[in-house]
Amino acid sequence: MTMTTEPTAPDDITEVHSSLAESAELTAARMPIHDAITTDAASMNGTSPDDTATAVIAPGEARTAPPLPEPAPETVADADTEIAEALAVPREQRPLSTLEADQISAWFGTHKVLERVSLTMPAGQVTALIGPSGCGKSTFLRILNRMHELVPSASLAGEVRLDGDDIYDRNKKLQDARKHIGMVFQKPNPFPAMSIYDNVVSGLKLTGVRVHRDQKDEIVERSLTAAGLWREVKDRLRQPGGGLSGGQQQRLCIARSLAVTPKVLLMDEPCSALDPTSTRVIEETMMELQKEVTIVIVTHNMQQAQRVSQQCAFFLASQGTPGQIVEYGDTEAMFSEPQDERTYDYVNGRFG
């Protein structure tokens, strides 16, 4: 995702929302997603009723919906309390969260791209999603924090449970899913002209969280430290984020995601645009981070999957069929003794 417009007033949430609207991936964040969710199976395009047993998005409604209102005061108050509570507990004592995807199917229009994918991403572990291009890894990842529904033609069926609670439940707020389940993209996307400090703080604003001014310093230091960037930038926090190297910018984006103390961090090929040294630093950062946040990473780098993950899921969409998980389990076992011949061929570089 590339940001094309700079927010002119970093302290103004409205401005940050406006800036986000410039990006293709978040444009539809202005839509009231709850209105866009329906359990009416008949609203699905080209699907059989048994495919649509649970939460289903009706893209037609989503396309015409009015803009998302600014966060309600209750939301801000709740978020404040949660952040304050999270900060009060030392990170090693914070409970870790499990994310479960249950029977996830996904469509773009009538094109079905995922077929009943179920996967448990255990608390405090790194789960790697691997598989050839186009098999639905990114789509699956975006379903895990409700970004898939922002694509006008997109729809889905199934449940995503964070510690047992379905994030697509009608009573759940979209912003809660984003706050608890952060996302880091392939291409580092800090606000280039905004200061390093404000880039981190923007993570709070993007999820509608307000904190007291004197809490900001603590959050910025904690987030940059957890992202492995603090020592390199602590003397230039007021300089623009765009002045950092690609690897540093990616860690700045990780810090921005961490500002709201998420329970899960999703990373879609976070190192594919980086040099080997920056990649290594990000991998080391991930190994530290998993002590406080559950991580799901998409990677095409088989060595990286083996270095950073404990669990691994191999996705495949063979001959135009929707993507499915062929094999899932302990990473070491998946690479040394895969149970499925297709997994063996993929992890040994015979296709993909």
Which residues of the chain form contacts with ligand ATP (CB under 6 A)? 108, 113, 131, 133-139, 151
Residue located via tokens 């080391």: 284
Beta carbon nearer to ligand ATP, 115 or 232: 115
User: 296: closest CA among 134, 151, 123, 171?
Assistant: 123
**Whose Cβ is closer to Mg ion: residue 141's or residue 233's?**
141
State in angstroms the smallest separation of the CB of 113 from ligand ATP. 4
- C-alpha of 77 from chain center: 24
Question: How many residues line the site for Mg ion (CB under 5 A)?
Answer: 1
Using the structure block, give the residue that is written with the tokens 């302290």. Answer: 11
Q: With CB cut-offs between 5 and 8 Å by kind, which of Mg ion, ligand ATP, none does residue 136 bind?
A: ligand ATP
Q: Look at residue 290 and give the partner it binds from Mg ion, ligand ATP, none, a contact being a CB closer than 5 to 8 Å depending on partner kind.
A: none
**11, 115, 93, 95: which is closest to 325 by C-alpha?**
115
Q: Going by DSSP bridges, is the β-strand pair 37-38/56-57 parallel, antiparallel, or unpaired?
A: antiparallel
Between the two ends of the chain, the Cα-to-Cα distance in Å is 24
Rounded Cα distance, 319 and 325, in Å: 15
Say which entry of ligand ATP, Mg ion, none residue 135 contacts (CB below 5 to 8 A, set by partner kind): ligand ATP
What strands, in cross-sheet order, belong to the sheet with 165-166? Answer: 111-121, 99-108, 154-162, 165-166
DSSP state of 276: H
Q: With CB cut-offs between 5 and 8 Å by kind, which of ligand ATP, Mg ion, none does residue 133 bind? A: ligand ATP
Cα–Cα distance measured from residue 60 to residue 65, given in angstroms and rounded to the nearest whole number: 9
Distance CA 188, CA 1 (A): 8
| Least distance between ligand ATP and beta carbon 122 (Å) | 22
Q: How far is the CB of 118 from Mg ion (least distance, A)?
A: 20
Closer CB to ligand ATP, 204 or 298, in the complex: 298
**Please, what is the minimum distance in Å from the beta carbon of residue 203 to Mg ion?**
23
Q: Please, which residue, 38 or 186, has the CB nearer to ligand ATP? A: 186
Characterize the bridge pairing of strands 294-298 and 264-268: parallel
Per partner kind, with CB cut-offs from 5 to 8 A, the member of Mg ion, ligand ATP, none near residue 134 is ligand ATP
Angstrom distance (rounded) from CA 231 to CA 103: 43
Of 119 and 260, CB closest to ligand ATP:
119
Asked if 285 is part of the footprint of Mg ion (rule: CB under 5 A), the reply reads no
The distance of closest approach from Cβ of residue 160 to ligand ATP in the complex, given in angstroms and rounded to an integer, is 16
Write out the binding residues for Mg ion, residues 126-145 only, by CB under 5 A.
138
Binding partner selected for residue 67 from ligand ATP, Mg ion, none, CB under the kind-specific 5 to 8 Å limit: none
H helix or E strand, kind and range, residue 295: strand 294-298
Q: Which does 4 bind (CB under 5 to 8 A by kind): ligand ATP, Mg ion, none?
A: none
User: Least distance (Å) from Mg ion to the CB of residue 238?
Assistant: 35
* Residue 34 zone, left/alpha/beta (φ > 0; ψ -120 to 50; rest): alpha
Q: Number of helices and strands (H, E) in the chain?
A: 14, 12
Taking the least distance from each CB to ligand ATP, the nearer of 44 and 220 is: 44
Q: Could you list the residues that contact Mg ion (CB under 5 A)?
A: 138
